[in-house]
A and B are shown apart, each in its own frame.
Chain A
Amino acid sequence: MRGRTVQAGFNFEYIMWINTRISGVALIVLAAIGMASALYLGARTQMDLPTLMRWTFFPNPNHVVNSNIPDIALGWSNGLWQVMQILMVFFAATHAANGLRTVIEDFIGQSIARPLLRGFVFSLWLFFIIVAIYVILAS
């Protein structure tokens, strides 16, 4: 049974392997920071659970509109949260794109379409980062 040929040493797949672990742990840490800050900023009494979840995974002012937050602008839509969101988007998009690439390559092996599909996944990655950053900065 001929397996996938992988070279030893530093190559794209090795870097993406490390990257997936790092981005996954970074996402968990960012979510924990988001949830802790939300609870500190008063989410326990001012938000219901789904809104807290939405805030944890993407701290966007749009995600807290239907809660009892008295002042969305002051605590919740400043530059710090925008930076957090952009970081989250970057890690999430990279993690997801690599996951998608792994699953696709498990099904198509050494086919001729591999560079094409990698290009497709790459453009999905780029597209979602651009769209998400636009949504973050323009709302």
Chain B
Amino acid sequence: MGITRSVGFFQGLKYQGGGPMLAWMFHRITGIALLSFVGLHVLSSFLMQQLGSDFATTINSLYESWGFQSVIIFCVLFHALNGLRIAILDIWPQFLAYQRESLWLQWFIFTPVYGLTIFILVQHALSGG
């Protein structure tokens, strides 16, 4: 079936799925971002190790900038916490009645962990890391 339905992209965005729909969207986006990053990083590390490729070294040095690392840590933490929530709700489906509360719990855990990590990371990077 795929996207042969007659709902456009922006029209679909108006679907009022709320928090759960946002979580699903971000889970997909962070998933694709992570696999692109990891795939590219494995490739460029391999090329850097085998051929001493300058291009690969440049790509890897991009990954070491604090801005990029902040984005990656966001993706990893969000994808992991959301995925854990999904796995828990799959194993114990009786908790599906509490899906919105589980989303609140997820953000409640995510915000301090991510905030503290970014604080340490950026502070260290900006003070001569």
CB of A72 closer than 8 Å to a CB of B: no
Q: List 11 A-B contacts (CB under 8 A).
A: A2-B1, A24-B84, A25-B84, A48-B124, A57-B76, A92-B38, A99-B32, A107-B2, A109-B1, A124-B39, A135-B42
CB of B16 closer than 8 Å to a CB of A: no
The DSSP consensus for interface residues of chain B is helix
A131 to B45, CA, bound (A): 10
Binding site for A on B (CB under 8 A): 1-5, 28, 31-32, 34-35, 38-39, 42-43, 45-46, 49, 64, 66, 69, 73, 76, 80, 83-84, 86-87, 90-91, 117, 120-121, 124, 129
Chain A residue numbers with a CB within 8 Å of B90 are: 21
Q: Among A25, A50, A107, A134, which residue has its beta carbon within 8 angstroms of that of B3?
A: A107
Q: Among B4, B69, B91, which residue has its beta carbon within 8 angstroms of that of A53?
A: B69
Q: B80: nearest residue on chain A (CB-CB)?
A: A28
A103 contacts B28, C-beta separation under 8 Å: yes
Task: Count residues of A near B (Cβ-Cβ below 8 Å).
Answer: 35
Known interface pairs A99-B35, A111-B2; 11 further A-B residue pairs with C-beta atoms within 8 A, sorted by A's residue number: A21-B87, A49-B121, A49-B124, A53-B69, A99-B31, A99-B32, A103-B28, A103-B31, A103-B32, A109-B1, A131-B42
Chain A residue numbers with a CB within 8 Å of B39 are: 96, 124, 128
A135 contacts B1, C-beta separation under 8 Å: no
Chain A residue numbers with a CB within 8 Å of B76 are: 57
Q: A17: nearest residue on chain B (CB-CB)?
A: B90
CB of A123 closer than 8 Å to a CB of B: no
A104 to B82, CA, bound (A): 21
Q: State which residues 76-121 of A face B: CB under 8 Å.
A: 92, 96, 99-100, 103, 106-111
CB of A139 closer than 8 Å to a CB of B: yes
A103 to B29, CA, bound (A): 10
CB of A3 closer than 8 Å to a CB of B: yes
Chain A residue numbers with a CB within 8 Å of B1 are: 1-4, 109-110
Q: A139: nearest residue on chain B (CB-CB)?
A: B49
Chain A residue numbers with a CB within 8 Å of B31 are: 96, 99, 103
B28 contacts A50, C-beta separation under 8 Å: no
Q: A25: nearest residue on chain B (CB-CB)?
A: B87
